[in-house]
Homo-oligomer: A and B are copies of this chain.
Amino acid sequence: MGTVGAGTLQVIQDNQAEIDARARINIRVTHVGARNKELDSSQADIRLSKDIFEVARDPDVDILVESIGGIEPAKSLVLEAMASGKDVVTANKALIALHGNELFAAAEESGVTLSFEAAVAGAIPVIRSLRDGLAANRINSLAGIINGTGNFILTEMRDHGRSFEAVLSEAQDLGYAEADPTFDVEGIDAAHKLTILASIAFGIPLCFDEVYTEGISKLEKMDVQFAEELGYRIKHLGVAKATEQGVEIRVHPTLIPESMLLAEVDGVMNAVWIDGNASGPTLFYGAGAGALPTASSVVADIVDIARNHHDEAGNGVPHLGVDSAKQKDIPVLPISECTTAFYMRITAADKPGVMLAITQVLTDAGVSIDAIIQKEAEKKSSQVPIVLITSEAKESVLNHALQQIEALEDIVEPVVRIRAESFEG
């Protein structure tokens, strides 16, 4: 009975008439497990247990909603509920991303459903859209703004020219960011969600450990502004791409053209852009967090399960789109083998010949320059920033060129490098 649990109770009660009609059955909260909460007097018909496992053992409970978060005791609770024949709905992305393979096997073993629409992108029905709505497609790529805190910070940095630290501190005051913001700003939360999306998109087992993850905490406002001058916005994206060599699954700050709809997704909102080989580009947008938006997806899962109960069906839809025996064994490429364009900010001594030397290194590496800004040196400074966007290149190739650039005599600081994507073709 934290945020999501209380939201779920509220939605089930507020929208009872609509939900019951759609589910073709009456959906009621009968038992709440809450270690430190009391229910108010209007909830007198709901049983309350301080031992949350009481709910998993209650024979009157058909569907258990896990809204604890984290791994334990959530995992044990879910396993116990499923073992006793209950369907389970969870909003727990870490649990699914890290232990989903095991949990789905247990669900199939018990003949129950483990649903997790709310685990990715809050109110957006992106699991359904990808697993069911786009089931006819080979997915070429997807890119998601799937952490609202990070997107709020980047939006504020761009709109008001503020620093990462200043915005984070405000986000914490507003309650958009946790006291420990690591999960959000270092991309771990986004990597959990991307793991789930990539598994469904490509029909592969969940593989959180192989997801490359880079945060936004080192992003400087200067680079946000230079990106803007070049016609780009910096978003903290989760990207999954099918290539001939394998799949790329990565979370990192990314320049995207400001003309993309995804670039317009601001503040705490989430969106997932998906490109299928039949559908072409699609985008799914909505609130990524919050009590009611998350509950919207939790209750949608309950309705789905209830609709199946109505017809005494089993679990018609494989949890991750295909059965585990049918999942493909495709390699996840290390980040060094991934291909993107790159934004580079090179701080050089204000001398002739520097630009030529940089261009020479990149040309030798087979990398061309798509756009460039060269600023005049500020007064009293003998240093100039050279900002450029490269053509697409394999990361290992680019890294090698970067080392050579940093070794040039007139390069006075480490080069700032941010990946860029246009998601075309």
Contacts and interface: CB of A to CB of B under 8 A. Distances in A.
A279 to B, nearest CB: 4
Contacts of A46: none
A12 B285 CA distance: 28
A209 interface: no
The interface centre, meaning the residue of A124, A129, A277, A302 with most chain B CB atoms within 10 A of its CB, is A129
A253 interface: no
How many copies of the polypeptide does the oligomer hold? 2
A391 interface: no
B300 A136 contact: yes
Contacts of A264: 261, 264
Given A278-B296, A285-B285, A286-B283, A15 B314 contact: no
A133 B313 contact: no
Interface stretch (A215-223, A287-295, A336-344): A287-295
A282 B128 contact: no
Interface residues of A, number: 69
A148 to B, nearest CB: 12
A212 B285 CA distance: 28
The interface centre, meaning the residue of A19, A129, A264, A279 with most chain B CB atoms within 10 A of its CB, is A279
A168 B296 CA distance: 41
A11 interface: yes
Given A279-B123, A323-B24, A18 B203 contact: yes
Interface in A293-308: 293, 295-300, 302-304, 307-308
A277 B203 CA distance: 34
12 contacts: A15-B137, A15-B278, A18-B138, A21-B203, A22-B318, A23-B135, A124-B282, A125-B133, A136-B297, A277-B292, A284-B285, A285-B285
Given A123-B280, A133-B300, 19 more contacts: A11-B137, A15-B277, A18-B138, A19-B135, A22-B135, A22-B203, A24-B322, A123-B282, A128-B128, A128-B129, A136-B295, A136-B296, A261-B261, A277-B292, A279-B286, A279-B287, A279-B296, A284-B285, A307-B317
Contact of A313 (B19, B283, B296, B313): B313
B133 A117 contact: yes
A368 interface: no
Interface string A70-90: 000000000000000000000
B280 A292 contact: yes
Contact of A318 (B24, B129, B290, B308): B24
Contacts of A261: 261, 264-265, 285
A132 interface: yes
B287 A136 contact: no
A379 interface: no
Contacts of A287: 279-282
Contacts of A307: 316-317
A289 to B, nearest CB: 11
A246 B308 CA distance: 32
A311 interface: yes
A385 interface: no
4 closest pairs, A vs B, by CB? A125-B133, A313-B313, A136-B299, A282-B286
Interface string A113-132: 00001000001110011011
A299 B322 CA distance: 16
A326 interface: yes
Contacts of A150: none
Given A21-B203, A21-B326, A279 B265 contact: no
Contact of A134 (B14, B278, B285, B296): B296
A354 to B, nearest CB: 39
Contacts of A7: 278
A276 B296 contact: yes
Interface string A379-413: 00000000000000000000000000000000000
